Structure 1
Amino acid sequence: MTTWLLYGATGYTGTLIAQEAVKRGLRPVLAGRSKEKVQTLAEELDLEFRIFELNDRTAEHLNGIDLVLHCAGPFEKTSEPMIHACLEADAHYLDITGEISVFEHTHSLHEEAQRKNIIFCSGVGFDVIPTDCTALKLQQALPDAIELALGFDSDSGISPGTMKTMVEGLGGGNIIREDGQLTAVAIGKHQRVIDFGRGRKSAMAIPWGDVATAYYTTGIPNITAWIPTPKPAAKMARLMNVASPLLSSEKVKQPLLKWIERSIQGPDQEERAGSAAHIWGQAKNKDGVIKTCRIDTANVYDLTVYGALEVTQRLLSGDYPGGSWTPAALFGPELLESLPGSGRFEIDSFYPGTAN
């Protein structure tokens, strides 16, 4: 019998995953740092639990565990000890991050995971599953693409964990993939108008995880990630570049993090149900041929629950090659279409010299 562990089970998204897992008849071991919180949830769901910190002794707490689904962010700080604990314990590692540094670190361990015949797959939630699958769908439609842009539009609320990650990234600027290399650029420098699926909107490039994951999935050398951003907000973002040393200081971050802990609850079920996500991607080759792909999905948090559990179940019941993989590289673009609330990929083409 396979046993899997859900770490960060009492966070906003972790709790949603634990609850949905039980509805599906799954029996994860719940884990985290707070005995009071973890034990309360475990008793409510009638599940086993473990209490431990993330440090160089974490592997001792993974005895008998075949897979870890890591949901405790900010992942830039928490993922490394759990990843290395999984290496030591011969357990698969999944997380729901969107942080570039985590994807890069996980990818750097590909050969070690291969030797252990275990799988590392970071980003098994939103937005990575939708955009990663979109990226591969576009690469299949335009195999010689040299440019890739990915993005999404959604009215979903925000969870405490997501907001904390945003605060941790204050002052960091933007990152794009240029000629195969991650390249730092000023936030707000790249702007365009995009129809994500519900009309044309001003958009701004952001330092999202796709510039890492989509590169490993497709090999396309130039990648940007986009979200709708009103022009005044994009202008403000450019002005923030001047203040980046101040914004990145702990004196600014710590009060914000404490305020989030006290004040942010995350969207409720009704709010999630009314906020689908609209995924967009565009690939271009050197001849100017453009393929544009769109697909609608469940809201960002429900999709994270569905995606994380789908990947967990597939890994526990199937046979996949060891190594560090992206979701689409493991399961193909059809993974996204299989999730509850997802539509079907729609691809439009533009050829230079012809009517669009």
Structure 2
Amino acid sequence: MSQAPTHDRLMIYGAYGYTGELIAREAVARGMAPVLAGRNEQKTGALAQELSVEARVFDLDKDAISGQLADIDVVIHCAGPFSATAPPMIAACLASQTHYLDITGEIEVFEHLFAQHEAAVAAGVVLCSGAGFDVVPTDCVAARLVEEMPEAQHLALGFDTRSGLSPGTAKTTVEGLAGGGKIRRDGRIETVKLAAQTRRIDFGDGEKAAMTIPWGDVATAYHSTGIPNISVFMPMSPKRITQVQRLNLIRPVLGFGPVQNFLKKRAGQVQGPDQSTREKRPTHVWGEATDANGGTCTARIKVANGYTVTRDASLALAQRLLEQAPAGGAYTPSRLAGWRFVESLPGSQPMTISRV
């Protein structure tokens, strides 16, 4: 089996986006010297010059990527929409034997990555999507729950956050509306109505109304745990849940190009939370495993703001790969670093477990 070359070099692609810039600045603050890359020459160059690191400008097509990763050990891919950008970057990483991380939460991207497992094994390359808030905390909760209840047949996960959205996250949310809700039933991912399931949940900050969302764990938690039935929840006021459910009536229209373009233009005007807001708004993460007899096991953990988690988790996983990468293959975050990884992140409290 071929082995990935060792250059001890990190590339952050999409470094001038909201989250990419957070990661780039923190990497430099930690004494790293990442290569900052992206499609926009002016934005990439300006940030790299400010941080006194190397800049590379290239598009994500086969000819443009060729040779750009030859001396790179690990890529943190931050340029969305990942449904369009992840496949060519993954292919380039496999060709150049460069380990790959991204910060997506898109189910289709996770499924594409898992389909590359054999190619990654052959290349000696680690592929891991969801190396940020999507899906590190929830994935680690899932892994902890299956350790406690290996016979679980149903898994519910969720999070309660008051953090605002970055432009990229807002655009991804717009894309997801037309695709409907997603759950995993009997091992298969199924499309369901938006807000198809509702229930009241105490995520760790008091009981609240919640609805199902098409979150990345519908894909990843199955690979981390083998539990065949998975759904993901987030809190929402009853009024907002009703509004989301009404979107099911016009969901086909939401997929039309002009409608998507209009909504994405509006989403692009969103401003991501500033440092003060991030520091004041941590996240409560929750999970519940249920066995065939109705027994339940619940896990909760309080972590930092989602964007702070993404910054710290992606860099910690990159550092892990730079220092001692495991055998090549497609990984989930908990498979790559263990469920305790989430507890090691700045701002995280110990995970609590209760069983009924």
TM-score, structure 1 normalization? 0.96
1:157 maps to 2:164: yes
Moved over 4 A (4+): none
Change (3 A) 1:184 1:260: closer
Q: 2:184 aligns with which of 174, 177, 180?
A: 177
Q: 1:114 deviation in Å?
A: 0.3
Q: 1:126 aligns with which of 126, 130, 133?
A: 133
Q: 2:321 aligns with which of 301, 306, 315?
A: 315
CA distance in 2, matches of 1:180, 1:134: 19
CA distance in 1, matches of 2:43, 2:265: 18
Equivalent residue letter for 1:289: G
- Per-residue CA deviations over 1:130-155 (Å, capped at 9, x if unaligned) read 00000000000001000000000011
Q: Secondary structure at the match of 2:315?
A: helix
Q: Which residue of 2 aligns with 1:248?
A: 255
| Contact persistence 2:297–2:354 (CA under 8 A) | yes
Q: Which residue of 2 aligns with 1:292?
A: 298
Q: Which residue of 1 aligns with 2:55?
A: 49
| Contact persistence 2:126–2:325 (CA under 8 A) | no
1:201 maps to 2:223: no
- Where does the alignment leave 5 or more consecutive residues of structure 1 unmatched? 351-356
- Per-residue CA deviations over 1:137-180 (Å, capped at 9, x if unaligned) read 00000010000000000111110110011111222111100000
Equivalent residue letter for 1:11: G
Q: Which residue of 1 aligns with 2:220?
A: 213
- Per-residue CA deviations over 1:245-297 (Å, capped at 9, x if unaligned) read 11111111112222333x22211000000000000000011121100000000
Q: Which residue of 1 aligns with 2:331?
A: 325
Q: 2:229 aligns with which of 211, 214, 222?
A: 222
Q: Secondary structure at the match of 2:101?
A: strand
Q: 2:37 aligns with which of 24, 31, 37?
A: 31
CA distance in 2, matches of 1:313, 1:330: 12
1:166 maps to 2:170: no
Equivalent residue letter for 1:210: D
Q: 1:232 deviation in Å?
A: 1.7
CA distance in 2, matches of 1:23, 1:220: 40
Count of residues paired in the alignment: 349
Q: Which residue of 1 aligns with 2:3?
A: none
Equivalent residue letter for 2:38: G
CA RMSD, 1 decimal: 0.9
CA distance in 1, matches of 2:219, 2:49: 39
Map 1:77-96 → 2, pairs under 5 A? 77-96=84-103
Q: Secondary structure at the match of 2:348?
A: coil
| Contact persistence 1:276–1:299 (CA under 8 A) | yes
Equivalent residue letter for 2:131: V
| Contact persistence 1:59–1:86 (CA under 8 A) | no
Equivalent residue letter for 1:165: T
| Contact persistence 2:18–2:166 (CA under 8 A) | yes
Q: Which residue of 1 aligns with 2:349?
A: 343
Q: 1:7 aligns with which of 7, 10, 13?
A: 13
Q: 1:330 deviation in Å?
A: 1.3
| Contact persistence 1:169–1:248 (CA under 8 A) | no
Equivalent residue letter for 1:49: A
Q: Secondary structure at the match of 2:316?
A: helix
Q: Which residue of 2 aligns with 1:233?
A: 240
| Contact persistence 1:142–1:291 (CA under 8 A) | yes
1:61 maps to 2:63: no
1:112 maps to 2:119: yes
Q: Which moved more, 1:114-123 or 1:186-195?
A: 186-195
- Where does the alignment leave 5 or more consecutive residues of structure 2 unmatched? 1-6
Q: Secondary structure at the match of 2:345?
A: coil
| Contact persistence 2:282–2:306 (CA under 8 A) | yes
Q: Secondary structure at the match of 1:145?
A: coil
Q: Which moved more, 1:116-125 or 1:63-72?
A: 63-72
CA distance in 2, matches of 1:120, 1:310: 15
- Per-residue CA deviations over 1:58-109 (Å, capped at 9, x if unaligned) read 2322121111110001111111110101111111110000000000000000
Q: Secondary structure at the match of 1:134?
A: helix
Q: Which moved more, 1:162-171 or 1:211-220?
A: 162-171
Q: Which residue of 2 aligns with 1:353?
A: none
CA distance in 2, matches of 1:182, 1:170: 17
Q: Secondary structure at the match of 2:47?
A: helix
